[in-house]
Amino acid sequence: MVTIDWVSGRRMAGAFIAAASLAANVPAQTPADMPPACPAEDGFFSTEVWSKVVEGHCLKCHRTGGDAEESKLVLIDPRRETDRSAQEIRRENRERLTKPATAMESGGSRLLLKATGKIKHEGEDPIAADSPEYRILEEFVRRASGSPAPTVAATPLAGAQPFFSGVVMADNRRLLRRVTLSLAGRLPTAAELAASPAEGEKGVPTSLLDAVMREDAFYDRLREGFNDIFLTLGYNDNAETVLSYDHFEKTRGWAEKFDLSHIADEKERQKARYKLYDDYRKALLGEPMKLIEHIVRNDRPFTEIVTADYIMVTPYSARGYGLYDEIKDRFKNAEDPFEYIPVRLKALIGRDKRDNQDSATGFYPHAGLLSTFQYLRRYPTTETNRNRQRSRVYFQHFLGVDVLELAARVSDAAAVSAKFEIPTMQASECVVCHKSLDPVAGLFQDYWRFEGVYGRRKEGWFTDMFPPGYEGENLPESERWRALQWLGERTAKDPRFAVAMVEHAYYLLTGRRVLLRPKDLADPLHDARFRAWQEQRATVDRIAASFAKSGFNFKTALKDWIASDFYRADGLATAADRPERRAELDDVGLMRLLSPEQLERKVAAVFGKPWGQLRDQMALLYGGIDSNEVTERAADPSGAMGAIQRILSNEVACKQTALDFTRPPAERLFFSEVQPTDVPGTSVETDERIRRTISHLHERILGRNDDPTSASVDRSYALLRNIVEDFKDRKGIDDRETYHCRRDLKGKENGNFKDPFYTVRAWRAVITFLLRQPEFLYE
Amino acid sequence: MRRDFLKLCGLAGLGFACPGGLRSLSAATPEQAPYDGPFYMVFNASGGWDTTYLMDPKGVDGINRLYQQGDILTNGNHRFAPTAKHRDGGMSNEEFFGEFGSELLVLNGLDYSVNNHSPGQRYMATGKLDSLAYPTFAALVAACRGPACPLSFLTFGNYSATGNIVAMSRVPYLPSLQRIANADSIEGNLKSPYHDDFALSRIEEALAAEHASRPLLPRLPREERGENMLYAAQVNSKAMERITPHIPKDIPKERLSQQAEIALASFKAGVCVSANLSIGQFDSHANNDKDQMKLIPELLAGIAYVIRRAEQLGLREKLAVIVQSEMGRTPTYNAGNGKDHWSIGSIMFLGPGIKGNRVIGATDDRQFHVPLDPQMLMPDRENGIRVRPEHIHEALREFAGIADHPLSRKFPLGVTEKERLPGLWG
């Protein structure tokens, strides 16, 4: 019997946890549970007391830097402690909780009285006395005080078998296809397939992954994926306005004045200017994600996304900053609007002296993404917001903390607002968030212009907020000019940073966020959901440790995820019928609906050319984002998306089927073994070639290795044959392929493409059929 | 074919693994009749509205600078703030309550419970504060009532989680619907099909056979869900062709009206159950009165537009309208003439089965909540309850007849029997 020690991620043998602890009962124990120091007791503390009650309810305040840091109970936050082992931290926390648990006051244990609000307890609503959380604490108190065990039979945890037991993993070839399509938008090459045999050593060879991660297409995907997270493409107004009028008044509009007099025709000249602007804007918009590309491509520590002392500029965007002449010799091709190089900006000089930027070095205090104008502009502030939105997204983006999720319901929020002069500093219900949020907001204080750029607040920073700082450490005044660098340095050292980046890597690969810790202990499936979260969390922690050890090489995080069971899970050996097991496996397996961009790339990979229609409105209709108002991709297909899938499958099959038959057989992508004259059912040999062709189509389009005699190939064959047979019974049907599907074919003869036996149109139907299947439309 | 398909699903023990349960799978078979109502439209005043300038007027202690207590107007049982002289466009309260007051149910003194946009939106949309897994009411009712509709749950913004029980549809522009309405015809021209009819029938048969074969193999829950969702989306998408005749020639300029036209066309075509409409910028931390006097009239005009158009389209008797926001505004002005977040506010309802000309619940003169007797629906400072979003959602589920639906039971709200609001709808 094995369960996971969530803190360390190690597997622990022999721990008995009650499956039936779901509602009324806490885990029962065997005599071996006693005394408290035994491993099973430790398991009870970590799995039940800590994970289900203390971490979610108590740790928010009862920790160093928390609102209750001056109370008698201060716990250690294992996610922010790096000097001690998880086991040591757990032991220490258990001891700290044991004291109030065994301290008896009138009415019982101090811990229980506090938790239920029978002794005054500030902060969030107390735990109800009939709640599962209370029963767990009650059991903890009983154990801590050495009371005899109730006579309840021990029941092993429902998930006593290894978590991935019975889950089928993708073989190496399938995994390779998944990786190359996902990360490089292409099918695996023959050489890669040869180097990655289906059987044998598990996983895609590291050398192949390294090679994929050197391809330009990988960096396209990387930028696209990170924009889903940071959304820097989505700020309002024209892109060049990210360069403030106060500091770049004379340079940001360079494209308007750029000399195009060599173009004589006025219309052509105007067209060229539009293109100039268009490229300039794209170059500016692309800078933040190009920073990420630069870091990853050059194997630089990923902490640079918050510490990089440079930005990325192109010949075009450099003109906007007014530094083109200074750096033009560093470009390989100064005419390329999209060649990015790293540069340091000088401290900003304003139109007015008061807008000059303080700088001890004479340079702009770059702090990776944090200080880019695009990021600041995407998340602007207002007089009343006071940079809190920036602080909130900072916590979300770089530490993986959803501050607003911490916002617990209080009994009367309006009364709290009215009771205190400064609720955010005085009311414990508010302080729980604002003590973390407001100091970071203060670090952005000198980026106060509401459009998001540098500028100090005239009245000075707010005094009715916790002062600028980071998790209990105040910003020294001498560091104010470089406050975001100061923040970046601390962020890079915070253990939560590595975890957050590994969670981002998971999003890139799967299109969804990591699981959230289930909170509802009354949920009959809570323990199953908890185990799923716990298992994934252990993997996140393990990969984060490896990521940090690698010097924060982001490719390491991707490679570790790709090698993980979570990425490789591909099916089940036997059906999972029990609700508990189904709940455990609910989020396992990739099964990701391809985004519009990914789907276009997949069409291109399989057919050699994208469909080209999934852009603008159609992309939004297909669940895409605009990075501004629509920021979450659709995870499931709607009927509108189903209609688009039909159009895509019809159109791509239409344009590709006859086209492939016009190629010499050796150059065909799909039909190298068959001709339009090959009618199904005419001979065994013909049918064998047809079946091999279908098998090839299944592999190329669906990524399935179906044997030519398999049931799946049978269905495709039946489709082909039935259509050809149906045709024989019809009269008046044209002997040519449909005009729309033949009109683009090259050559006079092909423009009149003959299909006398209807086989080409039947093959087109087969391709349409395959393009509508989940193996094509999902990853 | 349908019978065999269901049999296969049953054999594979799908039932609840299917999005929308077995019902949605059965719905994912061809030849579904158009969904004929009831329809649900949720208006979100995103950013936090000032209820004292709408349905819960005060005019005392400096709560409102644009009017005094004596200026408060009434229409039937409704009391409302005078806005005719102050509005910047849109529809005044006077006009709105005059036209719709007899049908309108207002609940004041709602405890939003939080002061932040994101949790507030989540709580108001789902009735559950501490979970990201719950569906919005609009998504839930769509999943229960019309899982086979291709645009069952339409959303135009605000919190739109689906709980993985129904697909969310975003339709940014009406013309985009026209482009996809006839997916099996070249450029939507019915006279130019991609495939001859017999070939297309064979493709659909093959897809049905392929889909039916899948439950025979053990699969991960995500695979099952994805495959079922996909198949349903493609089969149900055929109904999109019904929408073309209902796309209006003229597209209104107002943002809410544009959203409304998409939703109403989808309702009329029988392809949609619910729509989540949204207008933002209510977060009036600066210049509260100026902003609210622009946005509240715009919101009311949007609601009026929907109801009038629904009347023209013959949908009014099937359309329930919910009007809400994620928070209210403080009873005091800040230094920038704005108002900050306030956790007490209101919600409005209108539609068939909702008795109008009623105001339930209250706030006091300082804009604090007054407890409510949930049975009598009268203020009860001693024994009343704080009406929170879960109470509203429990009542909405009852109203929509989905409270006992398996999908609703999957997302319990934890409202006890004695805290329910049985008489809310009259």
- According to the 3-state scheme, what is the secondary structure of A426-469? HCHHHHHHHHHHHHHHHHCCCECCCCCCCECCCCCCCCCCCCCE
- Report the pLDDT value the prediction gives residue A452, as an integer from 0 to 100: 65
Are residues A77 and A58 in contact, defined by beta-carbon separation less than 8 angstroms?
no
Beta pairing, strands A11-13 & A341-343? unpaired
CB of B409 less than 8 A from some CB of A: no
Helix (H) or strand (E) holding A206: helix A206-212
Over residues B149-167, the pLDDT tens digits come to 999 999 998 899 999 899 9
By the CB < 8 Å criterion, does B376 face chain A?
Answer: no
The pLDDT value recorded for residue A209 is: 95
Question: Confidence class of residue A200 from pLDDT cuts 50, 70 and 90?
Answer: low
A-contacting residues of B 339-358, CB under 8 Å? 340-344
Q: How many CB atoms lie under 10 A from the CB of residue A84?
A: 13
B12 pLDDT above the threshold of 50: no
Tell me the per-residue pLDDT of A242-285, one tens digit each, with 9 for 90 and over.
999 999 999 999 999 999 999 999 999 999 999 999 999 999 99
Q: What is the pLDDT of residues A94-123, one digit of tens each?
A: 888 888 888 888 778 888 888 887 777 776
Q: What is the pLDDT of residue B237?
A: 92
Residues B194, A618: C-beta atoms closer than 8 Å: no
What pLDDT score does B331 carry?
Answer: 96
Contact A773 B344 (CB under 8 A): no
Q: Between A364 and A138, whose confidence is greater?
A: A364
Reduced DSSP (H G I as helix, E B as strand, rest coil) percent helix, strand, coil of chain B, to 5: 40, 15, 45
Judged by a CB distance cut-off of 8 A, whether residue A237 touches chain B is no
CA distance B268 to B287: 40
For residue A583, give how far its alpha carbon lies from the nearest alpha carbon of chain B (Å). Answer: 8
Q: Is the pLDDT of residue B11 over 50?
A: no
* B209 token code pair: 């056979």
> What is the reported pLDDT for A409?
61
Contact A715/B at CB under 8 A: yes
Contact A636 B162 (CB under 8 A): yes
B109 touches chain A (CB under 8 A): no
Q: Which among A519, A572, A642 is the nearest to B219, CB-wise?
A: A572
The more confident residue out of B118 and A508 is A508
Confidence of residue A742 (pLDDT cuts 50, 70, 90): very high
Confidence of residue B290 (pLDDT cuts 50, 70, 90): very high
Dist. CA A40–CA B277, nearest whole Å: 53
Euclidean distance between CA atoms B63 and B342, whole angstroms:
13
User: Are the CB atoms for A393 and A369 separated by under 8 Å?
Assistant: no
**B52-81 residues touching A, CB cutoff 8 A:** none
Q: Which residues are CB-neighbours of B99 under 8 A, at least 6 positions away?
A: B304
Rounded to an integer, what distance in angstroms lies between the CA atom of residue A83 and that of residue B339? 46
| Token pair belonging to A747 | 């050559």
Residues of chain A positioned with their CB less than 8 A from the CB of B221? 576, 582, 585-586, 588-589
Please say if the pLDDT value at position A407 is more than 70: no
Lowest mean pLDDT among A237-246, A757-766, B73-82, B85-94: A237-246
| Cα-Cα end-to-end distance for chain A | 34
Q: How far is CA A507 from the centre of its chain?
A: 2
Give me the pLDDT at residue A710, please: 96
Alpha-carbon gap, residue A627 to B176, rounded angstroms: 20
- What is the DSSP code string of A151-184? -------TT-S-TTTTEEEPPHHHHHHHHIIIII
Please tell me whether residue B78 adopts helix, strand or coil conformation.
strand
- B368: contact with A, CB 8 A cutoff: yes
Q: Round to whole Å and give the CA distance between A365 and A753.
A: 65
Q: Please report the pLDDT score of residue A748 as a whole number.
A: 67
Q: Can you tell me whether residue A406 is helix, strand or coil?
A: helix
A 621-640: CB under 8 A from B: 621, 623, 629-630, 634-640
- Report the distance separating Cα A53 and Cα A141, nearest Å: 13
CA distance A577 to chain B (A): 7
User: Does B235 sit within 8 Å of A405, measured CB to CB?
Assistant: no
pLDDT at B188: 87
Residue A33 has pLDDT above 50, yes or no: no
- List the single residue in B162, B223, B236 with the smallest CB-CB distance to A642: B236
Locate the chain B residue with the closest alpha carbon to A635.
Answer: B167
Q: Is B198 close to A764, i.e. CB distance below 8 A?
A: no
A164 touches B: beta carbon within 8 Å: no
Q: Where are the beta strands (DSSP E) in A325-431?
A: 341-343
* Residue B379 parent element (H or E): strand B378-379
Mean pLDDT over A670-697 rounds to 97
With residue B325 as reference, give the H or E element that holds it.
strand B319-325
User: Is the Cβ pair B202, A418 closer than 8 Å?
Assistant: no
Give tens-digit pLDDT for B187-203.
988 899 999 999 999 99
- Interface-testing mutation among B8, B136, B198, B224, with chain A (most A C-beta atoms within 10 A): B198
Task: Look at residue A155 and tell me whether its pLDDT is greater than 70.
Answer: no
β-bridge mates for residue A469, sequence order = A474
Q: In chain A, which among 557-576 make CB contacts under 8 A with chain B?
A: 569, 571-576
| Whole-number pLDDT of residue A46 | 80
Q: B304-356 pLDDT, tens per residue?
A: 999 999 999 999 999 999 999 999 999 999 888 999 899 999 999 999 999 99
Which candidate in B222, B341, B410 is best for mutational testing of the A interface (most A CBs within 10 A)? B222
* pLDDT single digits (tens) B218-228: 999 999 999 99
Q: Which amino acid is at A240?
A: E
Banded pLDDT at A749 (limits 50, 70, 90): low
Structure-model confidence comparison of residues A21 and B219, the more confident one: B219
User: Chains A and B: how many Cβ contacts under 8 Å?
Assistant: 258
Indicate the range of A442-446, A694-698, B154-158 predicted with least confidence: B154-158
**A614-636: pLDDT as tens digits:** 998 899 999 999 998 889 999 99
- Chain A segment 362-391 residues within 8 A of B by beta carbon are 382-385
A358 has pLDDT over 50 = yes
Given an 8 Å threshold on Cβ–Cβ distance, is A740 in contact with B116?
A: no
Among A405, A530, A647, A779, the strongest candidate for a mutation testing the B interface, having the largest count of B CBs within 10 A, is A647
Taking the C-alpha atoms of residue B385 and residue B405, their distance in angstroms, rounded to an integer, is 26
CB B277 within 8 Å of CB B325: no
Measured CA to CA, the distance from residue A224 to residue A232 in angstroms comes to 11
Q: Residue range B250-275: average pLDDT?
A: 94
Q: Check CB contact of A459 with chain B, cutoff 8 Å.
A: no
A654 contacts on B by Cβ (under 8 Å): 186, 194
Task: Determine the distance in angstroms separating the CA of B375 from the nearest CA of chain A, rounded to an integer.
Answer: 22
Distance CA A638, CA A644 (A): 10
Task: Compute the average pLDDT of residues B8-33.
Answer: 41
**Mean pLDDT for the stretch of residues B286-300:** 96
Specify the range with the lowest mean pLDDT, choosing from A61-70, A232-241, B238-247.
A61-70
Strand intervals (E) in A311-358: 311-313, 341-343
Amino acid code (one letter) for A304: E
Instruction: Please give the Cα distance from B254 to B305 (Å, whole number).
Output: 10
Contact: A647, B199; criterion CB under 8 Å: no
ipTM: 0.85
Average pLDDT taken over every residue of chain A: 88
Confidence of residue B178 (pLDDT cuts 50, 70, 90): confident
Contacts with B229 from chain A: Cβ below 8 Å: 636-637
Q: What's the pLDDT score for residue A426?
A: 87
Q: Does position B251 have pLDDT exceeding 50, yes or no? A: yes
A647/B129 touch (CB, cutoff 8 Å), yes or no: no
Portion 82-101 of A in contact with B at CB < 8 A:
none
Task: Judge whether B107 and B345 are in contact, CB under 8 Å.
Answer: no
A736: left (phi over 0), alpha (psi -120 to 50) or beta: beta
Who among B183, B220, B222 is closest to A646 (CB)?
A: B183
pLDDT over 70 (residue A12): no
Chain B CB within 8 Å of residue A414 CB: yes
**Chain A residues closer than 8 Å to B341 by CB:** 417
With beta carbons less than 8 A apart as the criterion, state whether B399 and B145 touch.
Answer: no
In chain A, residues with a C-beta closer than 8 Å to the C-beta of B227 are 774
Q: What are phi and psi of A366, to 5 degrees?
A: -65, 140
Give the whole-angstrom CA distance, residue A58 versus residue A402. Answer: 17
Residue A536 scores a pLDDT above 90: yes
Least confident of A58-72, A147-161, A269-283, A681-695: A147-161
Task: Give the number of other CB atoms < 10 A from CB of residue B317.
Answer: 11
What DSSP designation does B372 have?
E
The DSSP annotation for A545-577 comes to: HHHHHTTS-HHHHHHHHHHSHHHHEEEESS---
Structure token pair of residue B69 = 């207590």
| Closest CA of chain B from A31, distance in Å | 37
How far is the C-alpha of A739 from the C-alpha of A748, rounded, in Å?
A: 13
Per-residue CA distances from A364 to A242, A281, A323, A350 (Å): 16, 22, 13, 13
The letter for the amino acid at A702 is: L
Residues forming beta bridges with residue B370, ordered by sequence position: B362
Phi/psi for B88 (5° steps) reads: -110, 85
Distance from C-alpha of B239 to C-alpha of A742, rounded to nearest angstrom: 29
Please give the residue of chain B at the shortest CA–CA distance from A593.
B226
C-alpha neighbours within 13 Å on the C-beta side of residue A297: 18
Interface of B with A in 210-239 (CB under 8 A): 210, 213, 217-223, 225-227, 229-230, 232-237, 239
Q: What is the pLDDT of residue A85?
A: 79
Is the Cβ–Cβ distance between B275 and B266 less than 8 Å? Answer: yes
Q: How far apart are CA A588 and CA A709, in angstroms?
A: 31
